Homo-oligomer: A and B are copies of this chain.
């Protein structure tokens, strides 16, 4: 469907993936409302009509950038939580990967989804609901991870998977805030290690 036969009309003169990558950086750094069309125009090299023809609106472009973000940046993150074996080491890898991602030089600090959670009025429009959905997805992945760990016998069966999911979700979001505040990868890794003490092995 991508490079299939082109219909009539002038072909577009830009690479959609490249545009999404650059627009994502702008939204990531400045947030949805903080990113102006002038910034997006300068970063992507596109003119307003091209943007609006390709993505419909600023919100549409933002939504496409969210997809791009989870598909590329958040790829390893979700993969770490989706593996079959769910143990403490896997969760550690998930947290330490976040510590690295959040402080990656040359990219905006922190997590794009967590950052968006705070700047958008809750439950207002479609943009807010789009990011809320992605956060719920990660929360569900975490809860499933802990359920699998309990089934595998690596996590105390008395623990509450949903409470643990919410806890580690909060830790990651807190790490994102601190990354934005200038915390180093080492400092965030230390936070991750402390947080892992909440993983209680089954008794006996």
Which residues from chain A sit less than 8 Å from chain B, CB to CB? 29-31, 33-34, 109-110, 114-115, 117-119, 121-123, 132, 135, 160, 163-164, 166-167, 169-178, 180-183, 187, 190-191, 194-195, 197-198, 200
The 8 listed contacts between A and B (C-beta, < 8 Å) are: A33-B34, A118-B177, A122-B181, A135-B181, A170-B191, A171-B174, A174-B175, A197-B200
Known: A122-B180, A174-B174. A187 touches B166 (CB 8 A): yes
Give Cα distance in the complex from A195 to B122, angstroms. Answer: 25
- Residues of chain B with a CB closer than 8 A to A119's CB: 31, 34, 118-119
A163 touching B191, Cβ below 8 Å: yes
- Chain B residue nearest in CB terms to A109: B122
Give the contacting residue for A117; candidates B30, B164, B181; CB below 8 A: B181
- Chain B residue nearest in CB terms to A136: B181
Give the contacting residue for A121; candidates B29, B163, B176; CB below 8 A: B29
